[in-house]
Amino acid sequence: MAETADYSVADHLRDGRTIKIRALCPDDRADMLAAIARTSMQSLQRRFFAPKKGFSESEMAFFLDIDFESHVALVAQIDEAGRPAIVGGGRYIVVQPGRAEIAFVVIDAYQGQGIGTILMRHLAILARHAGLKELIAEVLPENNAMLKLFKKFGFKTTSQSSSQVTHLVLRLP
């Protein structure tokens, strides 16, 4: 959707600072790599379920080539020393008609400031607007912050959950 590809809004962190939430664009490659470099191995493992030191060209293409229909991605951008910096991102990928998987990552220095909540809120708005009926997520059981965020939005644990991964689902009105 063209309007989703142009999505851009100002929001506010818990401390009142302004943060920009906008659609990811292909020109974000260098800023995405910079954000990944600022993210701890533990945070990357919580997001990708495996140790990640870097990304292949095909992985980078997957993360940056967004169609804004079956794959929607937003970035959280904040002003650092007069320059916008990507400090987090979230996306959903349609896995079945009406159903999409959602995931986030926030660089460590900005965790706990409400960025995941802001990204979730905006992705849910876009998902509803796109006519999606359900969002699903997979979270490592030890990732308490992400589990808490999803539960705050009404996600429910499913019977598919195990000791290795918690499966969550949110039915969209």
Which domains, from first to last, does the chain contain? 2-134 (3.40.630.30)
**What does each of the 173 residues of the chain score in pLDDT, given as a tens digit?**
558 889 999 999 988 999 999 999 988 888 887 787 777 777 766 666 566 666 677 777 777 788 999 999 999 999 988 899 999 999 999 999 999 999 888 898 998 899 999 999 999 999 999 999 999 998 888 888 889 999 999 999 988 767 788 999 999 98
Pull the structure tokens for residue 5.
Answer: 């590809």
What phi-psi label fits residue 81: left (phi over 0), alpha (psi between -120 and 50 degrees) or beta? Answer: left
| Neighbour tally for 150: CB within 10 Å | 24
What is the pLDDT, as a whole number, of residue 54? 64
* DSSP class of 108: G
**Sequence-distant (≥ 6) Cβ neighbours of residue 123 within 8 angstroms:** 72, 74, 90, 91, 92, 102, 135
Sign of CA dihedral 119, 125, 130, 134: positive
Q: What is the pLDDT of residue 171?
A: 96
Report if pTM > 0.85.
Answer: yes
pLDDT value for 34: 79
Sign of the four-CA dihedral 134, 135, 140, 146: negative
3-state secondary structure 21-34: EEECCHHHHHHHHH
Question: Facing residues of 12 across strands?
Answer: 18
**Confidence (pLDDT) at 94:** 96
What pLDDT shows up at residue 65? 81
**Cα torsion through 124, 68, 14, 167, rounded to 10:** 50
Sorted by sequence, the CB contacts under 8 Å of residue 103 that are 6+ apart come out as 47, 90, 91, 92, 137
